[in-house]
Amino acid sequence: MAIKKTFAELGLSPRVLEAINRKGFEEPTAIQAMTIPLMLQDDTNIIAQAQTGTGKTAAFGLPLIEMVNANSRTVQAIILVPTRELAIQVSEEINSLKGDKDIKIIPIYGGQSIDQQLRRLKKGVHIVVGTPGRVIDHLNRKTLRLGEIEHLILDEADEMLNMGFIEDIEEIMQHTNRSKRTLLFSATIPGKIRELAYKYMEGYQLLTVKEEQLITNLTKQIYFEVKASDKFEALCRIIDIEEDFYGLVFCRTKSDVDSVVAHLIDRGYDAAAIHGDISQAQRERTLNKFKKQGVNILVATDVAGRGIDVNNLTHVINYSLPRDPQSYVHRIGRTGRAGKEGTAITFITPSEYKQLMFIQRFAKTDIKKSSVPKVKDIIEAKKKKIYDDLATILEDRIDTAYYNWAKKLLEDNNPTEILAAILNYCFEEELNPDTYGEVREVGARGKQLDQQGKARLFVALGKKDNINAKKLVDLIMSRVPVKAKQIRDIQVMDKFSFITVPFDKAEEIVDSFKERGQKPLIAHAKKSR
């Protein structure tokens, strides 16, 4: 199928084209160019392979807007999605594209007041976007009837199957008329999708976006190899070195999400959490605040993150490595959109390197290794931002009271000294490098010495010798001129301990504890097999 270059060539009406222009869409994505003409021209059932971020909502939403009869009060299309967030996002997206056409689109999902949904359904709805469980609830109550629908759309079909919705989907299909058209949108086309199509779709056309289109060239992909304990510090550095950070941070568990958000807030960042234990009302408030940039950092789990659709994200950060390649593609598909560049950053520990390489091969992409920003570079970036802000203020008219105050300050003070004092007063905490902790770069896997020159030492003292971490540090400092903060990763076992120290101090420490004729108290740790 030839890919058309503009929305005007796809057969859309001037009214819809005007709505598209207002949204700022310049040209159709591959899946839009394939799907829109096909939906408008005939009644063919469709299976479309499309990842998050390829514009699939508009691909089926725009033709639906064109074909819905606004004068009818019956439900003409139902769109099934796996999560509440996606139901809201799809509904909002279609509403934003309908222009002045008087059609009603509503999301229905668990967690929202069913009475509110009943009132809206009773008034008449053209397009319903719902999660399977709540749709079945309405079907059982007979408050939703699908006997006259013209379109049944399964969005994120593979994810719904993974989440165990296959029986629910089949039950919903039993309530629909045979003459409807069915469309499945899925990131992958596993056997279960084909079985569903064979059973419920009498012939279909398969549309596939080429794999190289699944990850946009506008997304820069990098990874940092760090110790698990240093991830949070690395995250703070990434946020601080950017002039206007606006991003999603993905964690593996709900407790990780809560922990990261709590620590970010403690450090003074505007951050919010979204995961399965948060009430639906709070989720909606949080998502709305994030979209309006009331907070610039949203920390989420994979499932809760589905349906978050913001075109101007600067970053997606994989705080935890995704569980599989599909999740990686889903996550990073949320940046580098609508013609804007974005950055996807993945944190890995040394043991996760092979899994990252597997993801890279599967996604047929290039994830480059990079280094965590250095503190001096972050301070310089902050100084530049302050300088630019001051230059902007100087372009505007400044209140006379500040001029008079400035003159008074300069009467008895050296201009350079008074300006330095003011900068120190205003930015002492923000520009203080001591607010940042150390991030220890990880060297080649399996080696004792890392890229910053650290060595792992074995200490023949443990808990049975009445040794703890503090006593061990004090003992070493009493023999060698080393600072306490240079002795890291202390592990005290029953009969022995391990420490990590700068390489240039390691030999000095080992030598200082050697006693003639005795087994060394401290030695280089042996490499593990």
Q: Is residue 11 part of a domain?
A: yes
Q: Tell me: do 352 and 493 sit in the same domain.
A: no
CA angle 338, 340, 342 (to 5 degrees): 120
Reduce the DSSP state of residue 293 to 3 states and report it. Answer: coil
pLDDT of 61 above 90: yes
What single letter denotes the amino acid at residue 131? Answer: T
pLDDT of 145 above 60: yes
pLDDT of 1 above 60: no
Q: Give CA 330 to chain center in angstroms.
A: 9
Q: Tell me: do 410 and 488 sit in the same domain.
A: no
Q: Which two tokens stand for residue 116?
A: 């509110």
Q: Tell me: do 243 and 181 sit in the same domain.
A: no
Q: Note the pTM of the prediction, 2 decimals.
A: 0.52
Q: Is residue 239 part of a domain?
A: yes
DSSP state of 247: E
Q: Which of 324, 349, 373 is where one domain is finished?
A: 373
Q: Tell me: do 359 and 387 sit in the same domain.
A: no
Q: Is residue 502 part of a domain?
A: yes
Query: What is the rounded radius of gyration, in angstroms, for the C-alpha atoms of the chain?
Result: 29
Q: Is residue 491 part of a domain?
A: yes
Confidence of residue 284 (pLDDT cuts 50, 70, 90): confident
Domain that holds residue 322: 219-373
Q: Tell me: do 275 and 169 sit in the same domain.
A: no
Chain mean pLDDT for the chain: 84
Q: Which two tokens stand for residue 165?
A: 């919705």
Q: Tell me: do 193 and 126 sit in the same domain.
A: yes
Q: Tell me: do 33 and 129 sit in the same domain.
A: yes
Q: Strands of 488-492's sheet, edge to edge?
A: 488-492, 497-502, 454-459, 522-524
Q: Is residue 351 part of a domain?
A: yes
Q: Tell me: do 130 and 276 sit in the same domain.
A: no
Q: Tell me: do 185 and 332 sit in the same domain.
A: no
**What's the CATH number where 494 sits?**
3.30.70.330
333-391: per-residue pLDDT in tens?
A: 777 666 678 899 999 988 888 888 888 877 778 889 998 888 888 888 888 888 888 88
The pLDDT score that the predictor gives to residue 79 is: 96
Under 8 Å CB-to-CB from 87, ≥6 apart: which residues?
Answer: 81, 107, 108, 109, 129, 130, 131, 307
Distance separating alpha carbons of residues 263 and 444, to the nearest angstrom: 30
Polymer length of the chain: 529
Q: Which of 154, 178, 213 is where one domain is finished?
A: 213
Q: Tell me: do 408 and 351 sit in the same domain.
A: no
Q: Is residue 442 part of a domain?
A: no
Q: Is residue 448 part of a domain?
A: no
Q: Tell me: do 351 and 406 sit in the same domain.
A: no
How many separate domains does the chain show?
Answer: 4
Residue with tokens 């949204």: 23
Under 8 Å CB-to-CB from 292, ≥6 apart: which residues?
Answer: none
Q: Which of 408, 435, 462 is where one domain is finished?
A: 435
Average pLDDT (245-265) is 91
Which helix (H) or strand (E) segment holds residue 298: the answer is strand 297-300
Q: Is residue 441 part of a domain?
A: no
The pLDDT score that the predictor gives to residue 309 is: 67
Distance separating alpha carbons of residues 276 and 253, to the nearest angstrom: 10
**What's the CATH number where 310 sits?**
3.40.50.300
Q: Tell me: do 415 and 368 sit in the same domain.
A: no
